[in-house]
Structure 1
Amino acid sequence: MEKNLHSAEAVAKYKSLVSAIGTCMFTTSGESGHHASRPMAIVDVDDDANTWFFTSLNSEKIKDIRNDQDVAMIFAHPGKEIYVDVKGRAAIITDRATMESKWNPIVKVWFPEGVDSPDICLLKVKTDEAHYWDSDSSKMMQAFKMLASVVTGQNLVKGVHGDLNL
């Protein structure tokens, strides 16, 4: 079933889905035009549906973003049958107060000196478009419904997908 969401409802759904997954494949375009993807853990999704990450200023993704701010994020939780495809524009944030407000102790694994780490920065991705798929049941139940669909000839596999118009 298709269910497109708008405004506050879309933002709430986006925050809920993305926060539940926590990690995405973050894709940038390099100078040569080739795409590069890497897993990244989110630190926040704000009320404007901006997605925030800590990273190193010396990373390849930062070089890519300085060349082309358009990025893609793919969030997937196969066990819950939840998927979110996001396109947005990334901004590099080095403001200390903002980094302190977004700080999460788990980030200390990568940045032992915290916000005092010399090459730390935030990535803020402003969501331009997002599409989601959200199943109404577990993987086991999905398999059962697929089998029942074959037997009955009716599609019993239900789920919701749609655009998140933020």
Structure 2
Amino acid sequence: MRDAVKTIGNLIDKQSICYVSSVDEAGYPNTKAMFAPRKRDGIRTFYMTTNTSSMRVGQYQKNPKACLYFCDRRFYRGVMLKGTVEVLHDPLLKQEIWHDKDILYYPLGVDDPDYCVLRFIAVEGRYYQNLKSETFTIQ
């Protein structure tokens, strides 16, 4: 892959959902679909919203290891990113990535205590396309 940031960034930007994994107390992976990240910096840092009270937030607070997976079903290609998650409550960041439709999930608005931001920082990835996989480091 000549330009991983461009190739993978384009794939990510076209997806409306991503698959997010955390690790439970027994050491097993837990995966769920979430809305695509609200913001990303390259292919290293991603920001998503979720409920502070969610099982996933509790798991990240105990073990920050995580994985994101983006899949382009039309062209049968995808990328897995491994890294860590931080649970953030920064009011400026929460305001920055707030969408009007979020009121459906957080009825008290941007200051709802059940509204938080997950910041995922990738350290490694694996890209699949055309029957080939390629692992790459993210700096």
Q: TM-score, normalised by structure 2?
A: 0.85
Bigger relative contact order, structure 1 or 2 (CA pairs below 8 A, ≥6 apart) = 1
* CA RMSD in angstroms, aligned pairs only: 2.0
Residue ranges of structure 2 left out of the alignment (5+ in a row): none
Aligned partner of 1:25: which letter? Y
Structure exhibiting the larger radius of gyration computed from Cα positions: 1
Equivalent position of 2:16 in the other structure? 22
Q: Does 1:77 align with 2:72?
A: yes
Identity of aligned residues (%): 19
More moved, 78-87 vs 121-130? 78-87
* Alpha-carbon displacement from aligned partner over 1:48-98 (angstroms, at most 9, x marks no partner): 621111011111001100111000112112123221111110011100001
* Alpha-carbon displacement from aligned partner over 1:81-116 (angstroms, at most 9, x marks no partner): 221111110011100001111223343332233312
Q: How does 1:101-112 map to 2 (within 5 A)?
A: 101-112=96-107
Equivalent position of 1:165 in the other structure? 137
Instruction: Spell out structure 1 runs of 4+ moving beyond 6 A.
Output: none
Change in 2 beyond 3 A, CA 1:126/1:34? same
Normalized per residue, the structure richer in strand is 2
Aligned residues: 137
Q: TM-score, normalised by structure 1?
A: 0.73
Equivalent position of 1:32 in the other structure? 26
Change in 2 beyond 3 A, CA 1:112/1:16? farther
Equivalent position of 1:148 in the other structure? none
Q: Does 1:123 align with 2:95?
A: no
